[in-house]
Chains A and B, each alone.
Chain A
Amino acid sequence: MAAPHSHNFNLPPGFRFYPTDEELVVHFLHRKAALLPCHPDVIPDLNLFTYDPWELDGKALGEGNRWYFYSRKIEGRVTDNGFWNPLGRDDPVLSTATSEVVGMKKYFLFHLQDADAGPLKTNWIMHEFRLADAAAAVATSSSSSRRRGRPKRDYSKWVLCRVYERDEEKEEEEDGAELSCLDEVFLTLDDLDEISLPNRIQ
């Protein structure tokens, strides 16, 4: 498979594949599950993926240090060198227009499976998006298993994954819409300026 990169799409400099969670669910996952053509068809299908996260480059759609791909919903993703461990609870993905829950977002952390030392945490994070409808469908078919989020392996159930390696140093640069810690400090200093303003020598 050719390495999909969003800068191949002939957009002017500065345009990148930075989908919101909602877009991932509504534009991409929903169309995929409904067997509708995705436009643009940029996200590859890695089926039952069992790649280690660092192997995704060249296989998944890469943008910056993020990779996107479709997969089937499976119960526990084990790779050659480790496994994806679920983190905490699921978050709903809301439609900005209707505030409806359109999907669910689940978090995973990649652990290396080391024979001697046991599981080792890494900085690799995965967001797994699934359709809200799917959850509902599962609920009707087997209501007992719904709460645990463990439907039987069902190949018609698509998920969309976003994988990235958390990088503290780069985080600041990549998210331009945030202030750096240093800038935050300077803003605080400005506050102190304001505080001292009313004080004048009589």
Chain B
Amino acid sequence: MPKMSISVNGQSQVPPGFRFHPTEEELLQYYLRKKVSFDKIDLDVIRDVDLNKLEPWDIQEKCKIGTTPQNDWYFFSHKDKKYPTGTRTNRATAAGFWKATGRDKVIYSNCRRIGMRKTLVFYKGRAPHGQKSDWIMHEYRLDENSTSESNNMMKATSVVVIGDGGQEEGWVVCRIFKKKNHHKTLDSPMSTTTNDTTSSLLLDSCNDGALDQIIHYMGRTCKEIIEEDQEDEDGMGMGMGAGRLLHPIDTSSVVINGSGSYLDGRFSKLPSLESPNSTSTHNCYQPINNHLGPADPMIVSGYQLDSSSVVSSAPHNWAAFDRLVASQLNGQVEVSNMIYYSDQLPTTTTLRATTSFSSKSSSSSYNAVVAAPTAPQDYNNVDTELWSFARLSSTDPLCHVSDTTI
């Protein structure tokens, strides 16, 4: 692989100790702004990469800067559109695919919004059986409406004002890095090696602010979130009816993942790969079913995913999806029973809820179960429980919460 040669003031390389570590603002305001306006960039430090053709580990090779060790790699990418009419983007490679996670973060410059950051995770294999890797991508895009405005600001360097035309081509600037599993390791200047005293001192992970954010995020009304989801470029335009009805059952797919697992059909046209077996994770729920022991237990998410399996066969037909959901839910479903009790506060809480849906048309009855682990050893992860809690305490009217101690 050819290495990028950099010449700075006659030196053939970046001087020792210096690395390319741009701020998000620099990435957007300087590099991406110049890119979309075909402006010349002083140094060719950020390369163009076709995200569909290169695996993360190949990008790592291609986007080397000099010879210094790197923890992250930068490139420009073209946001291809898989379907001419669609707004979803296709980020599949030969070995896997990039899947968006979380919500996009707004990037500000001097208190003015300039763009957005999307976080994606690389999965090996094919949806829905992809295996999550440690490769993370931050994809930065400029706000479309800010292009012309900021071109004025960039008078000194701007050559051509491309405006929306350039924007529609969909250049984004990306950073990929490998998630560290044991928070902070060697080789990063910011990181400290683990030292018993210092690690506890320096590396407190989650602060209270993050927790607040999560709770705040989870607690928002579903309507608001779904509307935003639709605005989001990866939003699926899920029918409001469907979203509203599904929300009390499973917020995760509808709300949290802009391009979540209900998009199975996304990759249906790609050649199939050997998929890793996912039963190991599946097992986590088994004890819960046994524990609650309703006849014919069913995971709520399964219900949701049953719908999506129909969608998978016709990925474009969201109207059909809406009809399907409506036929099963609209006016025919009542929450006959929803129990939620919390013994303690969320971090150590035991959450159980059962929901029964009776469908008059099919005369079948589903016992839907949303359950957090009753035994802490099932999950050592507080986040998991927190999430379950938030899911139950959603503000949807169908969700009856009692004994809330928050």
Contacts and interface: CB of A to CB of B under 8 A. Distances in A.
Contacts of B103: 186
Contacts, number: 225
Among A9, A184, A185, A199, max chain B CB count under 10 A is at A185
- Which of A181, A182, A184 has the most chain B CB atoms closer than 10 A to its own CB? A182
Contact of B17 (A19, A176, A198, A201): A19
B207 A201 contact: no
B100 to A, nearest CB: 10
Interface in B241-292: 250, 252-253, 256-257, 260-261, 278-279, 281-282, 284-285
A200 to B, nearest CB: 5
Please classify how large the interface on chain B is, using the bins under 10, 10 to 19, 20 to 34, 35 or more: 35 or more
Contacts of B205: 181
A185 B384 CA distance: 8
A13 interface: yes
Interface in A105-135: 105, 107, 109, 125, 127
Interface stretch (A73-81, A86-94, A137-145, A151-159): A86-94
Contacts of B202: 125, 166
Chain A interface main SS type: mixed
Interface string A161-196: 000001011010011111111111111111111111
A24 interface: yes
B18 A197 contact: no
B303 to A, nearest CB: 6
B177 A177 contact: yes
State the majority secondary structure of interface residues on B: mixed
B19 A188 contact: no
Contacts of A201: 298, 302-303, 306, 366
A165 to B, nearest CB: 12
B217 to A, nearest CB: 8
B52 interface: no
B20 A14 contact: yes
Nearest to A43: B17
B188 A177 contact: yes
Contacts of B164: none
B305 A196 contact: yes
Contact of A179 (B119, B186, B188, B190): B119
Given A88-B197, A125-B201, A200-B306, 12 more contacts: A10-B8, A10-B9, A17-B17, A18-B189, A87-B197, A105-B193, A107-B195, A107-B198, A174-B190, A183-B119, A185-B383, A189-B256
8 contacts: A12-B42, A14-B31, A87-B201, A96-B69, A182-B214, A186-B103, A197-B261, A199-B302
Interface of A: 6, 9-24, 27-28, 39-40, 42, 66, 87-89, 91, 94, 96, 105, 107, 109, 125, 127, 166, 168-169, 171, 174-201
